[in-house]
Amino acid sequence: MHPLSNFICRILTTTATVIMVCIGLAAAQTPAAGPTESSQTKAQFETAQARQLELEPLKVLPSKGKRWALIVGVDKYADPQISPLRGAANDARALADALVRYAGFPQDQVILLATDQPAERQPTRVNLLRRLSNLAAAVPKDGLLLLSFSGHGMQRGGQAFLLPSDAQISDQISFLEDTAVGVNRMRDLIRATGVGQVMVLLDACRNDPGGRADAPNPLTEAYTRGFNFDVRNREVQAFATLYATTLGQRAYEYTEKKQGYFTWAVVEALRGGASNPQGEVTLSDLIRFVQETVPKRIAIDLGSGKQQRPFATIEGYKAEDLVLSAPGARVANDAPAGGAGSFVDPAAIELSFWETIKNSTNADDFRAYLEKYPDGQFALLARNRLNSAEPSRTRPETSETQNALQELTFWSSVKDSTSRDEINAYLKRYPNGTFTMAARNRLRELDDSLDDSTWVGTSPGGDKFYEFRFGKGGMFSGTFFGGLSLFASGQNKLDGSWNQSGNSIIVSLSGRLKGQEFKATRNGNEIKGSWGALTYSFTVTRVLSKPKPAEGEGGATPCNLRGMRVTVFYRDKGGVNLSAPASKVAEKIRSFGAQTELTKGNSKEQSERVVFYNGQSEIAATIADCLRETISVSPADGGVNYTQPNVFQIYLQTPGSTAASDSSQTKTSKLKK
């Protein structure tokens, strides 16, 4: 078989595998490796060889549709003690692009979290851990999970930590465990996925995160221990670990490229810099390329006094046969050597094949495609076409395939939507579907996003009032009321733009207040900050557009009022006491999940009303609808409530028509029979 065909058509074996490629673990600059380091490396290599004898070395990666990646790049940190980097986000983008273009990863299965991305793609601790946890359900057990982290790392008390953008550095281990991500925890999360093959690319020691930008931050054994799997006990069956430096050295940033030297070399290798005569890049080719290229490039740019030499440990893989990319695979055995048109992308070959047959009425065409690409991009469509051509023999499979295709089409159309209603529509139609967990995670992401959210609050002294509206695309508007001593008439409108990095939010005002900024920190549904030359402080709370769903709840529950506070006011005046029916209403609302209060209040102008504030008319309508079997109330707009968001008030003021016959003279409200 031709080398390209051999590469494309390899079928994933059932044996689970883990590759671990820890890229870019950089360390402090030290003299060249001495005898101790050499003996340690030799011992590691001999141990690896001994373990390989126990298992049949694996030679292939999973098919392209089973490859997933989580790429993280952190240049800027919310903690001012942590020095910024210049190339981590660029590393993340370059690697993500290379995986899609040269290593066969589907673009929608490469997740990028980086400093220069939108708020929902920021490299925060929660985003990193949540995405990694979510991938446990998305990546098939016989698939590949690639995790890359470019940013700061640090060691304390013999433990190694990675620093997301909202990390806070400290010498206390317990504090770091809450704000950073321990490498041991990362390994446990990776192991918990149960996925067969795993690659971890790590660049976490470029310099001292809490000191000078050029201060060393050495690669230590705490990192290598953290990302080491037990092959003999079948924790994994194979892994490969590729480090940017030997122990005691650091990794450097390529100023000209605005990247780390190591990631730059890895990307160049995948692009074809490490291609063998068949146009393929194997694991051994990539290792050889970076081990030769990185030290040479650093010596040229930084001088011979700077040292950074990658090294590798491989177990359970036949590195010389494990193809990572095939950017230069030839299309014909007789292609002329060095010909400009003799190299093609394997994905382009498959696409060309499919384009040729997709409108065919000959079932043999689709059988030929499936034989060549059993796990190809269009395998599901090919099987569907084949089943349609043979209805008498494959009717059950056709129905199953069509249903799966319909669900995939539905999910693909809404997965990136910013509308909770569209995501809930998927959950309602497919409550136990393939993407149910992903849909619920998407709902949580939307709840966490600042886009299209309103916040209200006051100053600590309660004499200044704020309403903030965060629009899509970074648009900001709002109002401020603080008295004429601060603003003349007409100047209480706020306009500008906003951006968020981790939990930090900055609002740049425009118009008459141009040049002033709101600087704030978000903690869940609360934002605290300050602004102005006099440093005015404020605390604002989110106005919920929807009630909070219960844990694990998918679609909307009709009478869910979680996160809301409802006060029921009843009339007790002039011989009219409506406390009894009000108690029934309060109990009903409490069963819907709302915080409920019952109190006496006489206000005939609000008779049988549910008063809402801050534009929460839809929730008020829900309250009225859910109480229709108990009492008739109608929504009424109470305007803006700066001090009590997510609060509703129900007024029961009118006695019912049957009250006259009540022997106790206690009259009731308009209770429905």
CATH number, domain with residue 34: 3.40.50.1460
Give residue for tokens 């009321």: 481
Question: Per mean pLDDT, which of 154-168, 370-384, 466-480 is the most reliable?
Answer: 466-480
What's the CA gap between 509 and 438, in Å, rounded?
37
Q: Which of 297, 303, 215, 206 is nearest to 260 (CA)?
A: 206
Beta bridge partners of 542: 455
Pairing of strands 576-577, 159-162: unpaired
Helices (H), strands (E): how many in the chain? 17, 28
Based on the domain organization, do 163 and 72 belong to the same domain? yes
Phi–psi pair at 626, nearest 5 degrees: -75, -15
Is position 245 within any domain? yes
The total of other beta-carbon atoms located within 10 Å of residue 414's CB is 17
Is position 371 within any domain? yes
**How many residues belong to the chain?**
673
Residue 630 token pair: 């108990």
Based on the domain organization, do 395 and 291 belong to the same domain? no
Q: What is the pLDDT of residue 673?
A: 33
Q: Is pLDDT larger for residue 347 or for residue 105?
A: 105
Based on the domain organization, do 599 and 462 belong to the same domain? no
Average of per-residue pLDDT across 393-404? 57
Run of H or E including 399: helix 391-414
Q: What is the pLDDT of residue 658?
A: 27
Domain count, the chain: 4
List the single range of 106-110, 136-140, 416-420, 513-517 with lowest mean pLDDT.
Answer: 416-420
Based on the domain organization, do 506 and 649 belong to the same domain? no
Based on the domain organization, do 71 and 152 belong to the same domain? yes
End-of-domain residue from the set 325, 355, 378: 325
End-of-domain residue from the set 422, 447, 472: 447
Question: Per mean pLDDT, which of 145-159, 198-212, 433-447, 586-600 is the most reliable?
Answer: 586-600
Q: What is the pLDDT of residue 219?
A: 59
Is position 11 within any domain? no
What's the CA gap between 97 and 100, in Å, rounded?
5
Q: How far is CA 255 from CA 110, 204, 479, in A?
A: 26, 17, 45
Residue 583 token pair: 């108690």
Q: What is the pLDDT of residue 2?
A: 40
Phi–psi pair at 302, nearest 5 degrees: -115, -10
SS3 readout for 251-293: CCEECCCCEEHHHHHHHHHHHHHCCCCCCCEEHHHHHHHHHHH
pLDDT tens for each residue of 260-271: 888 889 899 998
Residue 29 token pair: 């600059």
List the single range of 240-249, 266-275, 365-374, 540-549 with lowest mean pLDDT.
Answer: 240-249
Q: What is the pLDDT of residue 41?
A: 47
Residue 285 token pair: 């080719």
Q: What is the pLDDT of residue 649?
A: 93
Q: Is the pLDDT of residue 523 over 60?
A: yes
Q: What is the pLDDT of residue 79?
A: 87
pLDDT tens for each residue of 564-580: 999 999 988 888 888 88
Beta bridge partners of 577: 572
Q: Is the pLDDT of residue 345 over 60?
A: no
What's the CA gap between 494 and 512, in Å, rounded?
9
Q: Which of 513, 514, 522 is nearest to 470 (CA)?
A: 522
Q: How far is CA 571 from CA 6, 107, 648, 655, in A?
A: 83, 62, 17, 9
pLDDT tens for each residue of 283-340: 889 889 988 998 888 888 888 788 888 877 776 667 788 888 887 654 333 333 333 3
Q: Which domain holds residue 526?
A: 451-543
Average of per-residue pLDDT across 505-531? 87
Confidence tier at 557 by pLDDT (50, 70, 90): low
Is position 672 within any domain? no
Counting Cβ atoms within 10 Å, is residue 96 exposed (0-12), middle (13-18) or buried (19+)? buried
Q: What is the pLDDT of residue 147?
A: 87
Based on the domain organization, do 107 and 151 belong to the same domain? yes
* Residue 204: strand, helix, or coil: coil
Based on the domain organization, do 69 and 191 belong to the same domain? yes
What's the CA gap between 633 and 581, in Å, rounded?
13
Q: What is the pLDDT of residue 31?
A: 37
Report whether 585 contacts 652 (CB < 8 A): yes
Residue 267 token pair: 């990307």
End-of-domain residue from the set 420, 447, 474: 447
Q: What is the pLDDT of residue 238?
A: 61
Q: What is the pLDDT of residue 112?
A: 94
Based on the domain organization, do 246 and 105 belong to the same domain? yes
Residue 568 token pair: 């029921």
The total of other beta-carbon atoms located within 10 Å of residue 118's CB is 12
Based on the domain organization, do 238 and 387 belong to the same domain? no
Is position 8 within any domain? no
* Residue 65: strand, helix, or coil: helix
Is position 7 within any domain? no
Residue 477 token pair: 């508007």
Is position 548 within any domain? no
Report whether 105 contacts 62 (CB < 8 A): no
Q: What is the pLDDT of residue 541?
A: 94
Based on the domain organization, do 79 and 93 belong to the same domain? yes
Is position 1 within any domain? no
Based on the domain organization, do 193 and 320 belong to the same domain? yes
Q: What is the pLDDT of residue 407?
A: 82
Report whether 275 contacts 284 (CB < 8 A): no
Give residue for tokens 């671990």: 20
Query: pTM of the entire structure?
Result: 0.45
Pairing of strands 576-577, 572-573: antiparallel
Mean pLDDT of the chain: 75
List the single range of 131-135, 341-345, 642-646 with lowest mean pLDDT.
Answer: 341-345
Residue 33 token pair: 């490796």
Run of H or E including 52: helix 35-52
Q: What is the pLDDT of residue 109?
A: 92
Q: What is the pLDDT of residue 208?
A: 55
pLDDT tens for each residue of 35-73: 444 454 445 545 444 444 445 667 778 888 889 999 999
pLDDT tens for each residue of 85-114: 888 899 999 999 999 988 888 988 999 999
Q: Give first-to-last CA distance, the chain, whole Å.
A: 81
Based on the domain organization, do 173 and 307 belong to the same domain? yes
Pairing of strands 465-470, 475-481: antiparallel
Question: Per mean pLDDT, which of 42-46, 434-438, 490-494, 609-613 is the most reliable?
Answer: 609-613
The total of other beta-carbon atoms located within 10 Å of residue 461's CB is 7
Pairing of strands 504-509, 517-523: antiparallel
What's the CA gap between 66 and 55, in Å, rounded?
23
Q: Name the H helices within 157-274.
A: 173-179, 183-192, 221-226, 261-268
